[in-house]
Structure 1
Amino acid sequence: MIGHLPLAVFLTLGMVVALGACVQSVVGFGLAVVAAPFVVVLEPHLMPAALLVTSLALPSWELLTGDRDIAWRPWCFAIGGRVLLMPVGVWLVTWAPTSLIAVIVGAMVLVAVAASISRIDVRPTPASSALAGVITGVSGTAASIGGPFFALVLQHERPSRIRSTLALFFVVGASSALTGLAVAGHVDATQLKVGLAWIPFVLLGTAIARPLRSRVDAARMRRLVLALATVAGVGVILLTVVS
């Protein structure tokens, strides 16, 4: 057992995390979008803290080894909006029943998919950046999902700038969310242990992604991931409603 979590469940969710990390390494997003629906169904008490801890690994590595080509102005507006609305996400975790959190996770997955396939021509203005941050302040704290919203704002930037800016956004945003959740008493030892124990699965997914980058069409894989995320998001909502 890992932090009172049955080994079989831990390994199953770890492989889902590895899949999400692989996808994120290839197409730029995916860890939380892929993993959150499965975590909230199998072990809802781990959400959102455990997945927030795990999700810090990839962006931290990107900042350490990447180009650090950061779009500072949009980032400042986005992180300001995220930190400002983070208490709302903490409030949801505090007062909402587990079933509502599950529905929120499923809904945020579907919204993230819609944002990812949107053809809306969004530019990184102060208003659009702040709005993406505001949405992520709630979704990133309560459901650990937030990357696609700010990624939509940055869609016209060069790839290195998108990766670096999102990485810093993830690290600061997830750290602030974990701090807020900890102050409210919603981060426990089990969540921390499991979140840290899933990091090797992130490394596994990243290692698998390296040869796939040159062999797999990123656009096709992105469509498959969005389809999987859609099924998972709808499935979470239906399972919650039925139960």
Structure 2
Amino acid sequence: MFLPGISVHDLLLAFLVVTIGAFGNGLAGFGLALLIGPFLLLIDPAFYPGPIVLLVGLMTAMILFRERNAINRTYVKQSIPGFVIGTGLAALLVAHLPHRETAILFGGLIFLGVALSMLGIRITPNRKILFAAGTMGGFMGTLSGVCVPPLAIALQNSPGPELRGTLSAVGLISVAMSLIALASVGKLGLLQLQLALALAPAAVLGYVLSFKLSPYFDKRCTRPAVFLLSSISAAAMLMEYL
């Protein structure tokens, strides 16, 4: 046993999963939890949710540093108030919300946004759109841990570096709030930290491997990646409650 309750085989498999997931996240700017969460949960429940959130935090911080000069600070400022309001409202109402109906609503709205975008309807990231995307993201993040897709859809036409940097700036706030919440309920302890540290090199490796392909990816794949990862998040939310 390499870590308490985790075999070397499982750790190596998890290392591979995180490397691949971090590579995809490094290209698209988000989606690490969506890409690795289900697989790590199947490998061993100990990987969920604390270690995954810590790895997302590491990945988000690395992308934020790499794309720091491309961050659209106006977009961040305009989406954060909505994010805070959405998170606060969900926290206040979570005990009284019909989770199934709420998940169907948000999942459906994401699919609608993807469908409208694919039909050629241009979404302009103005103040109202960004505030609404932030509010929806904050609400969704509190209910399901998935907060970035609404903002990613709003920013789908942004250049790759700007998209990654802006999403990371907002996403880091979500990670910080999630870590505080997990620690407050005793779900973030020594084992979770050890698992995250053991898999951190995999996140760094996947992130570094994405460097070379980023320029090619940005030319033709940014919008499809946003649509794909956003659709996966919506489908996962619907499957959890249907």
Q: Distance in 2 between matches of 1:91 and 1:10?
A: 38
Matched ranges for 1:59-208 at <5 A? 59-86=60-87, 119=117, 120-141=121-142, 143-208=144-209
State the structure with more CA Rg: 2
Bigger mean CA offset, 24-33 vs 13-22: 24-33
Q: Deviation digits for residues 103-147 of structure 1, max 9, x if unmatched?
A: x7xx99998777566515322233322332233324435544333
For 1:13, the equivalent position in structure 2 comes to: 14
For 2:3, the equivalent position in structure 1 comes to: 2
AA aligned to 2:55 is: T
Q: Distance in 2 between matches of 1:118 and 1:24?
A: 24
Q: Could you tell me how far 1:55 is from its partner in structure 2?
A: 0.9
State the superposition RMSD in angstroms.
4.4
C-alpha distance 182-190 of structure 1, shift in aligned 2 (>3 A): same
C-alpha distance 172-44 of structure 1, shift in aligned 2 (>3 A): same
TM-score by length of 1: 0.71
Q: Deviation digits for residues 37-69 of structure 1, max 9, x if unmatched?
A: 223444345433221110122331233333433
Q: Deviation digits for residues 152-190 of structure 1, max 9, x if unmatched?
A: 112233333222211211222211221123223332322
Runs of 5+ in structure 2 lacking a partner? none
Q: Quick check: 1:17–1:202 contact (8 Å CA) kept in 2?
A: yes
Q: Could you tell me how far 1:230 is from its partner in structure 2?
A: 4.8
Q: Could you tell me how far 1:215 is from its partner in structure 2?
A: 6.9
For 1:48, the equivalent position in structure 2 comes to: 49
Runs of 5+ in structure 1 lacking a partner? 95-99
Q: Percent identity?
A: 21
Q: Distance in 1 between matches of 2:66 and 2:139?
A: 29
Q: Distance in 1 between matches of 2:44 and 2:220?
A: 31
AA aligned to 1:65 is: R
For 1:97, the equivalent position in structure 2 comes to: none
AA aligned to 1:219 is: C
Q: Distance in 1 between matches of 2:38 and 2:92?
A: 20
Q: Distance in 2 between matches of 1:117 and 1:205?
A: 30
C-alpha distance 194-134 of structure 1, shift in aligned 2 (>3 A): farther
Q: How many residues align?
A: 234
Q: Could you tell me how far 1:201 is from its partner in structure 2?
A: 0.8
AA aligned to 1:49 is: G
Q: Deviation digits for residues 187-230 of structure 1, max 9, x if unmatched?
A: 2322222223222111121233234446778539956x949x85
C-alpha distance 197-138 of structure 1, shift in aligned 2 (>3 A): farther
C-alpha distance 68-138 of structure 1, shift in aligned 2 (>3 A): same
